[in-house]
A and B are shown apart, each in its own frame.
Chain A
């Protein structure tokens, strides 16, 4: 696809087909344009400070094309004001990532919106935590800084600031509504309140410990993150993961998907004032979590996946437990779907609320579940399957309408499909061990792990340092692409419908703020 740029191309270790292409500033933009017109998508964008090695800064963009992942590398002189061309023109979702790269590394994109994204006055404007010369244990007093929200003017227009502290126990985020009456004219999000320096922390960990931090980036995607990390590390060290371990990982990933979908469907009912839905879905979710505890040794599957395999095999009676649980979930979900579909009040709240049209979804780089609910059939498990998904042939469910009802319907469909996958996995488990030792990694290697989590593709870019250390690790959450969608899906809706629309996307704060 990017044939004319192939002069600096080499293969990268990854669980998907993956190439690294080194380019200059002009090609950096040309490639973005080409990927856009060819129907590819931007997976993530990150930067690195390599001044200690060769006096340069680097910025990377990872694209997903029909034939795999292309990582584009662009290097800059390590001078006082390193800049690179912005990708926002082709991929609007890169704006917040570019603003974050500046906050953390001081490399500026040539994009007019130069407001910070996640610094929030937490450290000095001239300090950049991800630079090599930054003292990670240095303390600086947080200063409250003004943030220029875009103002809407007009007769009867007023602003409602919401958050970051909410009336319920939820993650912090600030939403600035400009409304007239109850109708939303504009929404601007401000996130970054849960920034905790995960990327810097990675650099102090040995390679074989990193998966534990990865699992904690966004607790609801622990399996996906730890798998992505392990996939990156295993491809760097050319380690072989036993087939049984791969199947158990996929089983865990599908359990994670189902648990989140069950939780979300209940919460969607609750936000529509239908608490009956919440109690029944919560019960099913809890049953599944207890099955996780019994079969995998952890309710939310933290630390189940380790480099080289999984931490433990299933207990002897697991097969029976799993099949029983799948049967109850299948019956319960089908009956609740029937209840939701036939409840006039719930359907009135769900349908035509928070509509994200397929065109808009495509133009805004929607990814994962939100994209599928707007008719874009993206699912890495089917588009670009990695083992064991190459044998499972997952069916991608999409909905054309892009409203809350569509996002609920995709969740229902995916639970059914996950149950099919789980049964296939549980019925055809390979024999053998569940964990192989992995070799010591050579320094200076970049590896990529990409896993389709329940929200969308999770990516970990891992660079090894000397002596089994992590030189750089960049985790990417699909929420980066999907948070901006919410600003558009809410337009023209009523203020009290926002919680419902927000819940239908259910994006991660922690995973994006890292």
Chain B
């Protein structure tokens, strides 16, 4: 049964990720008083891209062609580890939250190498910026996970959620710090405003878009799908860490799973609207403010740790 849940959850993530991105785009359009693209816009784009012929640069190496598949595969694997609907996930035992960060880093390395592979100035420009953002974001997200570890005594996401969801009464102040830090990292890691602008056509300001400029057709579709999966995964991590209530725990039945699915969709809708709100209200930062932004995320996460240690509020102690 567990393997069925596992399989179903991965399929769910792959299917829902473009919808989540479409939902954010829709919310953002509403908040900016524009008429919104349809919710299914992302699916239509993917279908269009999959039906096109690939145009490859002459000097593209196998790495360039392999990178979209690697990206997509790592994001699918990450989705398998993150408990979104059920916590009874056999794959999750293979990797904890720290391995998950490693998984995201692998994807980043491949994407950056592929961006530099063609040798255009924009590819290297984007890769350079992506590595800068990445290596500043990783310590901050690690601190967020350490915070959770201190609270729930594990870095294994499924047991963490089990522990958390079964103690619904505990709201530790350190969680709030961790949540703020997490949202900041989420924005930076997923090429959203204020670090990057997913809607820009200005090649000199791009980070993520600059890296994928040379991709076309199915390669581009996989890259886009992978990046929407990444955002979906991040949202699910956030929900698992900070709003796990409603998730179906080990050994629960069909009814609980359906309830958990409904809860997840509501939570994702709210998160998406929240993200759109943040993006509408802020302008893009100058690129050299990005380190300050991420250092702030790190600092907030460390503050969370300190608050936790100082207050000594460990429910398991």
Interface residues on A, range: 20 to 34
Interface string of B122-133 (1 = CB under 8 A from A): 100100000000
B145 to chain A, nearest CB (A): 29
Are B193 and A273 closer than 8 Å at their CB atoms?
yes
Are A496 and B204 closer than 8 Å at their CB atoms?
yes
A283 at interface, CB cutoff 8 A: yes
Are B280 and A276 closer than 8 Å at their CB atoms?
yes
Interface string of A253-284 (1 = CB under 8 A from B): 00000000000000001011111101110010
Contacts of B34 in A (CB 8 A): 279
Tell which of A169, A269, A496, A498 has the most Cβ of chain B within 10 Å.
A496
Are A349 and B33 closer than 8 Å at their CB atoms?
no
What is the CA–CA distance of A276 and B280 in the complex, to the nearest angstrom? 7
Contacts of B122 in A (CB 8 A): 160
Q: A161-B121, A273-B194, A276-B32 are in contact. Are A346 and B201 (CB under 8 A)?
A: no
A494 at interface, CB cutoff 8 A: yes
Are A280 and B204 closer than 8 Å at their CB atoms?
no
Are A280 and B197 closer than 8 Å at their CB atoms?
no
A360 at interface, CB cutoff 8 A: no
B203 at interface, CB cutoff 8 A: yes
Are B283 and A160 closer than 8 Å at their CB atoms?
no
What is the CA–CA distance of A162 and B196 in the complex, to the nearest angstrom? 19
Are B288 and A168 closer than 8 Å at their CB atoms?
no
Q: A343-B283, A345-B282, A348-B286 are in contact. Are A280 and B33 (CB under 8 A)?
A: yes
B212 to chain A, nearest CB (A): 11
B94 at interface, CB cutoff 8 A: no
What is the CA–CA distance of A348 and B194 in the complex, to the nearest angstrom? 12
Contacts of A162 in B (CB 8 A): 203-204
Interface positions, chain A 309-349, Cβ under 8 Å from B, are 343, 345-346, 348-349
Interface positions, chain B 279-295, Cβ under 8 Å from A, are 280, 282-289
B208 to chain A, nearest CB (A): 13
A387 to chain B, nearest CB (A): 41
Contacts of A269 in B (CB 8 A): 283
Are A160 and B125 closer than 8 Å at their CB atoms?
yes
User: Chain A: which residue is nearest B213 at the CB level?
Assistant: A167
Are B283 and A272 closer than 8 Å at their CB atoms?
yes
Interface positions, chain A 149-171, Cβ under 8 Å from B, are 158-162, 166-169
The one of B32, B194, B199, B287 that contacts A182, using a Cβ cutoff of 8 Å? B287
Interface string of A468-498 (1 = CB under 8 A from B): 0000000000000000000000000011111
What is the CA–CA distance of A276 and B122 in the complex, to the nearest angstrom? 27
User: Chain A: which residue is nearest B288 at the CB level?
Assistant: A494
What is the CA–CA distance of A199 and B206 in the complex, to the nearest angstrom? 39
Are A168 and B121 closer than 8 Å at their CB atoms?
no
The one of B33, B193, B199, B287 that contacts A494, using a Cβ cutoff of 8 Å? B287
Contacts of A158 in B (CB 8 A): 121
Interface positions, chain B 14-36, Cβ under 8 Å from A, are 28, 31-34
B276 to chain A, nearest CB (A): 11
SS of B interface (majority): loop
B154 at interface, CB cutoff 8 A: no
Interface string of A342-364 (1 = CB under 8 A from B): 01011011000000000000000
B205 at interface, CB cutoff 8 A: yes
A466 at interface, CB cutoff 8 A: no
A458 to chain B, nearest CB (A): 28
Q: A160-B121, A276-B32, A283-B33 are in contact. Are A494 and B286 (CB under 8 A)?
A: yes
Tell which of A272, A276, A499 has the most Cβ of chain B within 10 Å.
A276
Are A345 and B280 closer than 8 Å at their CB atoms?
no
B310 at interface, CB cutoff 8 A: no
Interface string of B98-135 (1 = CB under 8 A from A): 00000000000000000000000110010000000000
B202 at interface, CB cutoff 8 A: yes
User: Chain B: which residue is nearest A496 at the CB level?
Assistant: B205
A319 to chain B, nearest CB (A): 29
What is the CA–CA distance of A498 and B205 in the complex, to the nearest angstrom? 8
What is the CA–CA distance of A166 and B210 in the complex, to the nearest angstrom? 12
Q: A273-B284, A345-B284, A495-B125 are in contact. Are A167 and B203 (CB under 8 A)?
A: yes
Contacts of B284 in A (CB 8 A): 272-274, 345, 349
Are B203 and A345 closer than 8 Å at their CB atoms?
no
Contacts of B28 in A (CB 8 A): 275
Are A166 and B203 closer than 8 Å at their CB atoms?
yes
Are B283 and A346 closer than 8 Å at their CB atoms?
yes
A371 to chain B, nearest CB (A): 26
A265 to chain B, nearest CB (A): 14
What is the CA–CA distance of A269 and B281 in the complex, to the nearest angstrom? 12
Contacts of A497 in B (CB 8 A): 286
User: Chain B: which residue is nearest A169 at the CB level?
Assistant: B201
Interface positions, chain B 158-201, Cβ under 8 Å from A, are 193-194, 197, 199-201
Interface string of A370-386 (1 = CB under 8 A from B): 00000000000000000
Interface string of B263-283 (1 = CB under 8 A from A): 000000000000000001011
What is the CA–CA distance of A345 and B204 in the complex, to the nearest angstrom? 19
Contacts of B31 in A (CB 8 A): 276
Contacts of B280 in A (CB 8 A): 275-276
Are A345 and B201 closer than 8 Å at their CB atoms?
no
Contacts of B202 in A (CB 8 A): 167-168, 271, 499
User: Chain B: which residue is nearest A280 at the CB level?
Assistant: B33
Q: A160-B121, A345-B194 are in contact. Are A275 and B287 (CB under 8 A)?
A: no
Q: A167-B203, A499-B204 are in contact. Are A274 and B283 (CB under 8 A)?
A: yes
What is the CA–CA distance of A42 and B202 in the complex, to the nearest angstrom? 34
What is the CA–CA distance of A271 and B286 in the complex, to the nearest angstrom? 11
Contacts of A168 in B (CB 8 A): 201-202
What is the CA–CA distance of A167 and B211 in the complex, to the nearest angstrom? 13
Are A499 and B205 closer than 8 Å at their CB atoms?
yes
User: Chain A: which residue is nearest B125 at the CB level?
Assistant: A160
A426 to chain B, nearest CB (A): 29
The one of A166, A279, A498, A499 that contacts B32, using a Cβ cutoff of 8 Å? A279
Contacts of A494 in B (CB 8 A): 286-288
User: Chain A: which residue is nearest B280 at the CB level?
Assistant: A276
User: Chain B: which residue is nearest A350 at the CB level?
Assistant: B283
The one of B121, B203, B286 that contacts A349, using a Cβ cutoff of 8 Å? B286
What is the CA–CA distance of A12 and B32 in the complex, to the nearest angstrom? 53
Are B204 and A498 closer than 8 Å at their CB atoms?
yes
B146 to chain A, nearest CB (A): 30
Contacts of B32 in A (CB 8 A): 275-276, 278-279
What is the CA–CA distance of A181 and B73 in the complex, to the nearest angstrom? 33
What 14 additional pairs, Cβ within 8 angstroms, besides A167-B206, A273-B193? A160-B121, A162-B204, A167-B213, A182-B287, A273-B284, A274-B284, A279-B34, A345-B284, A349-B284, A349-B286, A494-B288, A495-B125, A496-B287, A497-B286
8 A-B Cβ contacts within 8 A? A162-B203, A273-B200, A278-B32, A345-B284, A349-B286, A494-B286, A496-B287, A498-B204
The list of the 5 closest CB pairs from A to B, nearest first, reads A273-B284, A345-B283, A168-B201, A499-B202, A496-B205
Interface residues of B (CB under 8 A from A): 28, 31-34, 121-122, 125, 193-194, 197, 199-206, 209, 213, 280, 282-289
